[in-house]
Structure 1
């Protein structure tokens, strides 16, 4: 587990450098205030992740049996199942009022960059952990089969939220399978029909399959991001974000 966290930390400065060199949008908010709030939530959530074996007893997981599948094939199956579960969980966060209260902490961000990746309420992280453990327990997945997906989803989300403009042809090609900044920015649009689209975590195939895909080439880029009701400076502070589900 420590290995993928190290790789993740190495990727962050590379993304920041790319944002300066290939910026998609001009940023107007005080980025250091945003970074403080978003990264503070990230540290809190990492603590939740590290504590998860305490919160969710490993006794919930069945004893692993030797699989008849080749390890690479088993990891691929686990990848697809977990990404599909992530897609439906993401839709559930938007559909149900209780979960939307948690998830809107992520969506009230007024501008997007790498730090938006970390902007999740701890309550949302706990629910996501429970779903992952439930999928693992149901399908008897081993940590070795799950870790490749965890690496992929973190890398994909770091790129998807980044303020990077990719080459148009390259991005269109990548979008055939994977989420990119151009795809995911519609999910953060202030225009709700766009917000309720592009739910995919790593793959875009689920959105295409279930009719929730907004194609970047078919409509103009979002004019603004965030939620109208939480657009004041005070709404973006760490304390307000932690208490936002109660508002």
Structure 2
């Protein structure tokens, strides 16, 4: 199941990446330096996340508060995704509110001046590990899903994450059902970095929803701060310094 999960995510990424090359919403040209850097960071954090995931599975899969493991794996996956997205919404807000969490976990992900599929995996290893922890906590410990249901939940989450970072145009009405890539640009907007923390339903319920009609072009940090990757990996605050 692990190989199938990986194959689905990689295939989806390649499809979105290809569409971005053909018709990018931002009109950005290919930046070889960015692609090399983002690929390296993404690979580094992915390895860390997979390693942590193996530990969390052993930690949380032996006991659970509830038990949905007898349900269809797709229903399990949907339940796991919804609960994880709710918990992740509040964790995401906390990372933006508290300087320590922002600096240690989330700052690096917001630094790029390009928002595209590759940006979805561009994050500090601590950020990826924390997301994996929340998924294991929700799927295994709280809901008692089996490995197949948890894998479906992970696939949905990964595809959604790639989609909201995609450099593609989408219809305005879609934002009231799912967060659009254009909405996620609000979240990454230069000198803004707030709103649209998760699924549209959570943002609507908790007052952080924004569905712009105008396309937001300037995102991330300024060039000098964006390039301080090593400092951000060391959890130094470059956004406010």
Q: TM range, normalised to the smaller chain?
A: 0.7 to 0.9
How many Å apart are 1:115 and its aligned residue?
A: 1.3
> Which TM-score applies when normalising by structure 2?
0.85
Alignment RMSD: 2.5
1:224 to 209, 215, 218: 218
Deviation at 1:240, TM superposition (A): 4.4
> Residues 186 and 195 of structure 2 are in contact (CA less than 8 Å); yes or no, is this contact kept in structure 1?
yes
**Structure 2 equivalent of residue 198 of structure 1:** 196
**SS of the residue aligned with 1:159?**
helix
Question: C-alpha displacement at 1:204, in angstroms?
Answer: 1.1
Count of residue correspondences: 233
Task: Name the CA distance, whole Å, in 1 between partners of 2:143 and 2:71.
Answer: 16
Of 143, 148, 151, which residue of structure 1 is paired with 2:152? 148
The separation in 2 between residues aligned to 1:164 and 1:94, in whole angstroms, is 25
Q: Which structure features the higher share of helix residues? A: 1
| Alignment-derived partner of residue 118 in structure 1 | 121
Structure 2 counterparts to residues 202-217 of structure 1, below 5 A: 203-217=199-213
The match for 1:48 is: 48
Name the SS of the counterpart of 1:134 in structure 2: helix
Gaps in structure 2 of 5+ consecutive residues = none
Bigger drift between 131-140 and 90-99 goes to 131-140
1:238 is displaced (CA, Å) by 4.9
CA deviations over 1:10-49 (Å, ceiling 9, x no partner): 2222222211222111226x62111111111111122112
2:14 paired with 1:23: no
Q: CA deviation at 1:151?
A: 0.8
Equivalent residue, structure 1, for 2:227: 236
**What corresponds to 1:179 in structure 2?**
179
Segment drifting more, 91-100 vs 130-139: 130-139
Say whether the 8 Å CA contact 2:53–2:129 is kept in structure 1: no
In structure 1, what is the Cα distance between the partners aligned to 2:218 and 2:184?
13
Task: Confirm or deny: 8 A CA contact 1:37 1:238 kept in the other structure.
Answer: no
Query: Equivalences for 1:65-104 in 2 at 5 Å?
Result: 67=68, 70-71=71-72, 72-101=74-103, 102-104=105-107
Q: After superposition, give the CA deviation of every residue in 1:73-124 in whole Å (9 maximum; x if it has no partner).
A: 4433222111111211111111111110131101111121221111100111
Question: Given the superposition, is the C-alpha separation of residues 88 and 130 from structure 1 closer, same or farther in structure 2, using an over 3 Å criterion?
Answer: same
| Within-5 A mapping of 1:131-146 | 131-135=134-138, 136-146=140-150
Cα deviations by residue, 1:188-232 (Å, 9 ceiling, x for unpaired)? 10142xx210011xx311101111001123xx332411124xx31
TM-score, length-scaled by structure 1: 0.83
- What are the superposed Cα offsets for residues 56-79 of structure 1, whole Å, 9 maximum, x if unpaired? 461443346864863244433222
Give the deviation of 1:143 after TM superposition: 2.5
Greater alpha carbon shift after TM alignment, 207-216 vs 151-160: 151-160
CA separation of 1:3 and 1:191: change in aligned 2, threshold 3 A: same
Preserved contact between residue 41 and residue 238 of structure 1 (Cα < 8 Å): no
